[in-house]
């Protein structure tokens, strides 16, 4: 399957991943019709502009591809699917308040695709899904709406997106592409398509179920790893140890890959997809067992969500009760230098601080004050500077390493929740009479932990019997 003058791929969902995928396919010679229910998104793309600002390449590529006729957008999914030889679906599946997968959007999209599906079309799902979703739920929707049979009349495969916001085109170039079809022919068709649009390695799996499992393994691993690092941080605080130095040394062993502890885990992926894994075991789980199936991922989720409360308790140990005190939270984004707030730990910190009666002010250079208000926060202004008793860094924006803490004349402590501030900035904070702390610093009296290499250089020792 190679692109030619009439080869068309429909990309269903033009969000932060869908639009970059559409651009990637168009750059490789496919005519791309992007589908989205959002009229503003469609109008923006057709005007040659990108609504996804985290990927700098889009600002150049979208207008170029739209002008050349290789990319266009529509709200009419029927038109797009009827013209396409390949349909790529990247519509989100979210979790509800009970942490159960909500398939509403992808169900609607799949039924619409099925109603307009042409024989021999390849349908590819890239949305992260619970195991068995493609082969059972989505296959049934497509077959029912189309009156065609998957594997016989059309091809069906799954290939999880594995990219990170802000680095999508880099990740598409370098990360291996995992694929799995409902049968051998579908797998080969998927492999052929992806070889036409990507230079990365292709890894075929035995089935769509196995390909779905791959994505849940890698995201759940990261959540469990971070939870382990967070447990190490609390242990370090109990025993006056520096967890950062200890983890760095441990990771010099090739089999150790411990992540960095922090105030919590946010984003569309890591705090969400473990629940997709858990959704597949409920009917097989013996709830009376002390260690039911997937006990570890379940515990990891609880540990990571509890770190915000633990961080607030560390601040209280230094400034006392937070009732009536003002706290400045730096960053509401779920990750440093990314303008997104999905499942951000800022909400967990906000909840923990409010429970203690604190007044919370928030700074984030990626959001306007109006946007912060809309997100439920009170923006920090110069009028609040003298009121701040404590600072909690939640998002590791690079600009915070230049934040002027000297303005906070009554601040007693800065908690670096992401271990993001440089040693020089830490020293400036301490020089201004504040405590600098991080999770796992050992709660030691010295504000900046670990003996420096410079201090070691002034110490000499000669082994007995050896000449200096």
Q: Is 411 a catalytic residue?
A: no
On whether the CB atoms of residues 459 and 452 are closer than 8 A, the answer is: no
- Which residue in the list 16, 35, 177, 215 is annotated as catalytic? 215
Q: Is 152 a catalytic residue?
A: no
d(CA 204, CA 272) in angstroms, rounded, equals 25
- Which residue in the list 16, 269, 347, 411 is annotated as catalytic? 269
What residues are labeled active site? 215, 269
């Amino acid at each position: 399957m190679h692109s030619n003058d009439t080869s068309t791929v429909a990309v269903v969902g033009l969000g932060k991943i869908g639009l970059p995928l559409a651009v990637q396919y168009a750059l490789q010679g496919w005519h791309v019709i992007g589908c989205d229910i959002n009229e503003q998104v469609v109008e923006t793309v057709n005007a040659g502009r990108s609504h996804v600002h985290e990927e700098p390449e889009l600002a150049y590529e979208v207008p170029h591809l739209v002008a050349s006729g290789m990319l266009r957008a529509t709200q009419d999914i029927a038109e797009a699917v009827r013209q396409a030889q390949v349909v790529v679906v990247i519509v989100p599946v979210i979790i509800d308040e009970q942490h159960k997968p909500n398939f509403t959007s992808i169900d609607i999209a799949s039924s619409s695709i099925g109603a307009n599906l042409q024989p021999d079309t390849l349908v590819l799902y890239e949305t992260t899904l619970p195991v068995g979703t493609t082969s059972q739920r989505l296959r049934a929707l497509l077959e029912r709406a189309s009156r065609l049979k998957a594997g016989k009349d059309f091809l069906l495969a799954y290939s999880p997106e594995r990219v990170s916001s802000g680095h999508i085109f880099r990740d598409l170039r370098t990360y291996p592409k995992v694929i799995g079809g409902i049968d051998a022919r579908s797998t080969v068709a998927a492999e052929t398509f992806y070889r036409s649009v990507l230079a990365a390695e292709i890894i075929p799996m035995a089935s769509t179920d196995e390909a779905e499992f791959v994505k849940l393994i890698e995201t759940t691993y990261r959540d469990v790893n971070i939870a382990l690092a967070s447990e190490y941080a609390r242990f370090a605080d109990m025993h006056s140890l520096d967890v950062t130095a200890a983890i760095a040394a441990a990771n010099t062993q090739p089999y150790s890959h411990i992540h960095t502890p922090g105030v919590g885990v946010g984003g569309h992926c890591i705090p969400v997809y473990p629940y997709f894994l858990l959704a597949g075991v409920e009917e097989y789980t013996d709830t009376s067992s002390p260690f039911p199936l997937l006990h570890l991922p379940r515990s990891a989720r609880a540990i990571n969500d509890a770190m915000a409360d633990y961080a607030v308790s560390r601040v209280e140990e230094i400034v006392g009760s937070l009732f009536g005190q003002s706290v400045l939270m730096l960053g509401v984004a779920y990750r440093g230098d990314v303008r997104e707030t999905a499942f951000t730990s800022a909400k967990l910190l906000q909840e923990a601080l409010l429970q203690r009666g604190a007044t919370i002010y928030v700074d984030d250079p990626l959001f306007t004050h109006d946007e912060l208000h809309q997100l439920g926060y009170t923006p920090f202004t110069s009028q609040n500077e003298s009121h701040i008793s404590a600072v909690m860094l939640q998002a590791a924006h690079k600009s915070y390493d230049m934040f002027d803490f000297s303005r906070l004349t009554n601040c007693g402590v800065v908690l670096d929740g992401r271990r993001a501030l440089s040693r020089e900035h830490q020293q400036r904070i301490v020089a201004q009479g504040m405590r600098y702390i991080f999770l796992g610093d050992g709660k030691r009296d010295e504000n900046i932990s670990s003996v420096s290499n410079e201090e070691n250089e002034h110490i000499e020792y000669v082994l007995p019997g050896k000449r200096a």
